[in-house]
């Protein structure tokens, strides 16, 4: 017996709704298939790669750890930019250290960071870090003292 969801013209949308956590009842009503059919399709036919991407086994359905870390990092970066534009050099430096720590954690979580000594090298050559570091130091240009301090924390020449 063929699956009403697999053969459905909107199969991609059905799959997306399942992955997004919409209830089988709601999906069934929306696409004109039975909730039972949606449930069966979910357990038997939905690509493990697709479900694995968004809902890793054992997760509580929240977004995966690396994404949450990335968002945390973006948040720290935004705070950093604010601190810099407000002229809060010390706060900006603390945020830089925070971001550096977060990048290390992201590196560990994504497996790009296995070992402390290797990690330092990886981090310093990671394009995201190099780009961020360069942007951050440039942003400090109006506060030469903070720029020098940040550059030494980041192991950079000022103005680089």
Choice between 47 and 134, CB closer to Zn ion: 47
Three-state DSSP at 123 gives helix
Helix H, strand E, coil C: the string for 5-38 is: CCCCCCHHHHHHHHHCCCCHHHHHHHHCCCHHHH
Q: Which residues contact 17 (CB under 8 A, 6 or more apart)?
A: 26, 27, 30
Q: Is residue 50 near Zn ion by the rule CB under 5 A?
A: no
- The stretch near Zn ion (CB under 5 A) out of 17-25, 38-46, 122-130, 148-156 is 38-46
Choice between 36 and 135, CB closer to Zn ion: 36
Question: Which of 14, 27, 41, 104 is close enough to bind Zn ion by CB under 5 A?
Answer: 41
Choice between 43 and 125, CB closer to Zn ion: 43
Instruction: Give the sign of the dihedral formed by CA 23, CA 37, CA 59, CA 69.
Output: negative
Question: Which of 5, 96, 126, 154 is close enough to bind Zn ion by CB under 5 A?
Answer: 5
Choice between 6 and 119, CB closer to Zn ion: 6
Q: Is residue 8 near Zn ion by the rule CB under 5 A?
A: no
Choice between 4 and 132, CB closer to Zn ion: 4
Three-state DSSP at 3 gives coil
Q: Do the beta carbons of residue 43 and residue 34 sit within 8 Å?
A: no
Total residues interacting with Zn ion, rule: CB under 5 A: 5
- The stretch near Zn ion (CB under 5 A) out of 27-35, 43-51, 54-62, 125-133 is 43-51
Question: Which of 6, 72, 148, 156 is close enough to bind Zn ion by CB under 5 A?
Answer: 6
How many whole angstroms separate alpha carbon 99 and alpha carbon 131?
Answer: 13
Three-state DSSP at 56 gives coil
Footprint on this chain of Zn ion (rule: CB under 5 A): 3, 5-6, 41, 45
């Amino acid at each position: 017996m063929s699956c009403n969801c697999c053969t459905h013209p909107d199969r991609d949308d059905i799959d997306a709704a399942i992955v997004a956590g919409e209830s089988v009842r709601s999906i069934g009503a929306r696409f004109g298939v039975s909730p039972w059919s949606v449930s069966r399709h979910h357990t038997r036919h939905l690509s493990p790669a697709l479900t694995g991407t968004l809902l890793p086994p054992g997760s509580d359905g929240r977004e995966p750890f690396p994404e949450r870390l990335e968002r945390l990092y973006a948040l720290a970066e935004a705070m950093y930019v604010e601190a810099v534009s407000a002229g809060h050099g010390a706060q900006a430096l603390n945020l830089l250290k925070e971001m550096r720590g977060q990048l290390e954690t992201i590196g560990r979580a994504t497996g790009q960071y296995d070992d402390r000594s290797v990690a330092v090298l990886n981090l310093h050559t990671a394009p995201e870090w190099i780009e961020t570091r360069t942007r951050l130091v440039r942003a400090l240009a109006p506060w030469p003292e903070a720029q020098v301090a940040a550059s030494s924390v980041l192991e950079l020449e000022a103005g680089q």
